[in-house]
């Protein structure tokens, strides 16, 4: 059984939950982080010195960092499928996973935090506007990429779609007018229809 620590309101925990569901894994999840606490306790810090979520334990093997966990689970349980077999295909998937974590997520973070987790009277509209301004062109970039292939990594669903799909879910949930992007919208609808995404892409933000 896979053990997972993390609250499902975390985008990074949702990545792992979705991956596990795609793979049909049994997961024992413990709420941690945010108002659940736990992450600063000595026992937790011995397992993840960053004091963050998610953290997994797989038959005694500990691993943290969400996209790394997604890669690991796919490599272990779905080689040549969710984890691409060819080196070129695998690193295209890796490329977009890193893009989600290092470019797309930081760009949209302020808009999410201000709109969803900050009381209306305390919101910084300038930070929201700046976040939106730098994030929207990134969705244009992905829309153009998806004009040429059905999924982020190529012709089929792979590990690359999970982190980027979770990011799209978060952006779509913000209280703002959406720009229609046909290829991006088609891709995201396809993800939402996957049984493995239930309980992840159909949940409200918090």
* pLDDT tens digits in sequence order for the chain, 206 residues long: 999 999 999 999 999 999 999 999 999 999 999 999 999 999 999 999 999 999 999 999 999 999 999 999 999 999 999 999 999 999 999 999 999 999 999 999 999 999 999 999 999 999 999 999 999 999 999 999 999 999 999 999 999 999 999 999 999 999 998 899 999 999 999 999 999 999 999 999 98
Write down the pLDDT at residue 54.
98
Burial classification of residue 165, based on how many CB atoms lie within 10 Å of its CB (0-12 exposed, 13-18 middle, 19 or more buried)? buried
Assessment of whether the complete model's pTM goes beyond 0.85: yes
Domains of the chain by start residue, with CATH: 2-77 (3.40.30.10), 87-196 (1.20.1050.10)
């Amino acid at each position: 059984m896979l053990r997972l620590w993390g609250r499902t309101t975390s985008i990074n925990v949702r990545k792992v939950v979705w991956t596990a569901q795609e793979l049909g894994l049994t997961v024992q999840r413990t709420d941690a982080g945010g108002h659940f606490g736990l992450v600063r306790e000595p026992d937790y810090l011995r397992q993840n010195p960053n004091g963050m979520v998610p953290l997994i334990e797989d038959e005694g093997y500990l691993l943290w960092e969400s996209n790394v966990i997604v890669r690991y689970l796919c490599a272990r349980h779905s080689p040549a499928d969710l984890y691409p077999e060819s080196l070129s295909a695998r690193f295209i998937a890796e490329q977009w996973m890193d893009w989600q974590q290092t470019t797309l997520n930081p760009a949209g973070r302020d808009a999410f935090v201000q709109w969803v987790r900050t009381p209306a009277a305390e919101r910084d509209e300038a930070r929201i506007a700046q976040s939106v301004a730098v994030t929207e062109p990134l969705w244009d970039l992905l829309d153009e990429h998806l004009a040429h292939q059905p999924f982020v990594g190529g012709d089929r669903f792979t590990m690359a779609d999970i982190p980027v799909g979770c990011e799209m879910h978060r952006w779509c949930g913000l209280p703002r007018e959406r720009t229609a992007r046909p290829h991006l919208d088609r891709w995201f609808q396809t993800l939402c229809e996957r049984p493995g995404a239930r309980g992840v892409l159909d949940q409200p933000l918090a």
